[in-house]
Chain A
Amino acid sequence: MKIINVFITIVLLSFATTSLLAQKNIKNDKNNLKDEVSVQVDGLGCPFCAYGLEKKMKELKGVKAFKIEMESGLTSFTYPTENNISIEEVKYQVIKAGYTPMALSIKRADGSIEEFEYETPEIDYTANQTIEFDVAGNCNMCRGRIERAVMSLYGVSDAKWNKKKKYVTIKYLDSQVSERDLHEAISAAGYDTEKMKAMDDAYSALPGCCQYDRIEIDAIVPFKKNTSTDNVE
Chain B
Amino acid sequence: MLNKYNIALTTLLLLLVGCSSSHKEFKFVNAIELGKITPIGLAFDGTDIWLSDGDNNQVVKINREGKVLQKLENFERPMHIAYNKGNLYIPQYGRDTITIISKNNNNKTLPIDMDLDAPAGVAVDNNNIAIADFYNHRVLLKNKKGWQTIGKKGRNKPAEFEYPTDVHFNNDVLYVADAYNHRIQVFDLNGKHLRTFGRPEKMNATTGIFVDDNYVYATDFENGRLLIYNHIGQLQQIIDAGFENPTDVAIINNELYVTDYKLKKILVYKQ
Interface residues of A (CB under 8 A from B): 45-48, 51-52, 54-55, 58, 98, 148, 151-155, 176-177, 181, 184-185, 188, 209, 229, 232
B118's partner among A55, A148, A177, A188 (CB-CB below 8 A) is: A55
| Residues of chain A within 8 A of B135, CB atoms compared | 52, 55, 98
B222's partner among A46, A176, A181, A209 (CB-CB below 8 A) is: A46
| Residues of chain A within 8 A of B157, CB atoms compared | 181, 184, 229, 232
Map CB proximity to A onto B31-71 as digits: 1 under 8 Å, 0 otherwise: 00000001010000000000000110000000000000000
Closest to A233 in B: B157
Cβ–Cβ contact B163 & A209, under 8 A: no
| Residues of chain A within 8 A of B245, CB atoms compared | 46
Cβ–Cβ contact A229 & B154, under 8 A: yes
Q: Is B261 an interface residue (CB 8 A)?
A: yes
A51's partner among B54, B158, B200 (CB-CB below 8 A) is: B54
| Residues of chain A within 8 A of B200, CB atoms compared | 148, 151-152
Other A-B pairs beyond A46-B245, A47-B38, A52-B135, 9, CB < 8 Å: A46-B207, A46-B221, A48-B205, A52-B118, A148-B200, A153-B199, A155-B155, A229-B154, A232-B154
Alpha-carbon separation in the docked complex, A54 to B55 (Å): 12
Q: Scan residues 63-115 of chain B and give those whose CB is less than 8 A from a CB of chain A.
A: 77, 79, 93-94
| Residues of chain B within 8 A of A51, CB atoms compared | 54, 77, 93-94, 118
Main secondary structure of the interface of A (DSSP, over half): helix
Number of A-B contacts (CB under 8 A): 74
| Residues of chain B within 8 A of A154, CB atoms compared | 155-156, 181, 199
| Residues of chain A within 8 A of B38, CB atoms compared | 47
Interface residue tally for chain B (C-beta within 8 Å): 34
Interface residues of B (CB under 8 A from A): 10, 38, 40, 54-55, 77, 79, 93-94, 118, 120, 134-135, 154-158, 163, 165, 179, 181, 183, 196-197, 199-200, 205, 207, 221-222, 245, 247, 261
| Residues of chain A within 8 A of B94, CB atoms compared | 51, 54-55, 58
A52 and B134 in contact, given A151-B200, A152-B200 (Cβ under 8 angstroms)? yes
How distant is B248 from chain A, measured CB to nearest CB, in Å? Answer: 11
Cβ–Cβ contact A45 & B222, under 8 A: yes
Give the 9 A-B CB pairs with smallest separation, nearest first: A152-B199, A51-B77, A154-B155, A47-B54, A153-B156, A181-B156, A51-B93, A46-B221, A55-B94
10 contacts between A and B (CB under 8 A): A45-B205, A46-B221, A46-B222, A48-B120, A48-B163, A148-B200, A152-B199, A154-B155, A154-B156, A155-B156
How distant is A195 from chain B, measured CB to nearest CB, in Å? Answer: 16
Cβ–Cβ contact B156 & A229, under 8 A: yes
A152 and B155 in contact, given A45-B222, A47-B40, A47-B54 (Cβ under 8 angstroms)? no
